[in-house]
Structure 1
Amino acid sequence: MKETSKPSLDRIDVKILRALQIDGRLSNAELAMQVNVSPATCHRRTQRLFDKGFITGVRADLAPEMVGLGTLVMVGVALDRAAPEHRLAFEEAILKMKEIIDCLLVAGEFDFLLKIRCRDMDDFNRLQGEKLIALPGVRQTRTFFVMKSVKENVRLPF
């Protein structure tokens, strides 16, 4: 039995994806020129890449310090393993918290790894005391204050 595979990308699709990863603000005309196709072809192909889920969105990368969110905190969360329903309740609660910018289900010592942006340590302390420890099923948390970001949100290497 043959496995179902992902939609394939040709060299032009790959060029479009690479160019948009570098600069998502390119106009269709600029992008078409970079990948050496007509603007109509470029628009059609780019739209197909959106429709097929290769491109999930276009946004501006903000400087956290400039918008008052200069403190980056990673939090490992262990849930109560005796109650599997806690995982879904935890995930639903996390989706409602704007301070949490990433939530990853992980294998290892913790069940989830949270990436949180806040103003400062006092802001995080308030968040921890009022919201994080009250999340459904939380048994334990471990907090890591990020001292320096060496590499973050880089382009996909394909």
Structure 2
Amino acid sequence: MMDLDATDKRILAELVANARISTTELARKVGLSKTPVAARIKAMEEIGLITGYRAILSPLKLGLTHVTYLEVRLSDTRERALRAFNEAVRAIPEVEECYMIAGGFDYLLKVRSRDMADYRRIMGEKISALPHVHATSSYVAMEAVVEQSWMSL
């Protein structure tokens, strides 16, 4: 892990807020010249702290207003079964997040869809067909209270 000083943290905060910021503008905001800012960014990329840059699309503008959290219990939790599930769930574009869980179920999925009918289709055609799925429980989100793309440094 890289030791981050206050300037590194400011650079990261600016990049999280606007990954398209120019090096010149970023340097001005953090109080350095372009060359050291570029060197710091390159170092953070090389160690894997910065893993990439991307456009973040608005699910709401795309009509994906329905969010469901889904508990999944598997019938088999041996390593081969887990790998098969992991590989298959990655191929479902409506699954926005998937976490293996230690607890009363095996996986927690965040699924985005247009509406309840669309979610029902995704469940019936895609999620229920995943390898080793034994049981599921769905929880429909009513409102997003906090959505963050990064934690405070």
TM-score with structure 2 setting the length: 0.92
Segments of 5+ residues of structure 1 without an aligned counterpart are: 1-5
CA distance in 2, matches of 1:47, 1:112: 35
- Map of 1:98 onto structure 2: 93
CA distance in 2, matches of 1:156, 1:25: 20
- Map of 1:35 onto structure 2: 30
**Runs of 4+ off more than 6 Å:** none
- Map of 2:7 onto structure 1: 12
- Map of 2:142 onto structure 1: 147
The one of 51, 55, 75 equivalent to 2:50 is 55
CA distance in 2, matches of 1:139, 1:101: 21
**SS of alignment partner, residue 138 of structure 2:** strand
**SS of alignment partner, residue 43 of structure 1:** helix
CA distance in 1, matches of 2:98, 2:142: 20
Q: How many residues align?
A: 153
Amino acid in the other structure paired with 2:148: N
**SS of alignment partner, residue 134 of structure 1:** coil
Task: Say if 2:102 is the partner of 1:107.
Answer: yes
Tell me the C-alpha RMSD between the 2 structures: 1.5
TM-fit CA distance, 1:80 = 1.6
Segments of 5+ residues of structure 2 without an aligned counterpart are: none
TM-fit CA distance, 1:82 = 5.7
CA distance in 1, matches of 2:9, 2:59: 30
Amino acid in the other structure paired with 1:157: S
TM-score with structure 1 setting the length: 0.89
TM-fit CA distance, 1:100 = 0.7
Identity %: 37
- Partners of 1:22 and 1:155 within 8 A in 2: no
CA distance in 1, matches of 2:24, 2:77: 56
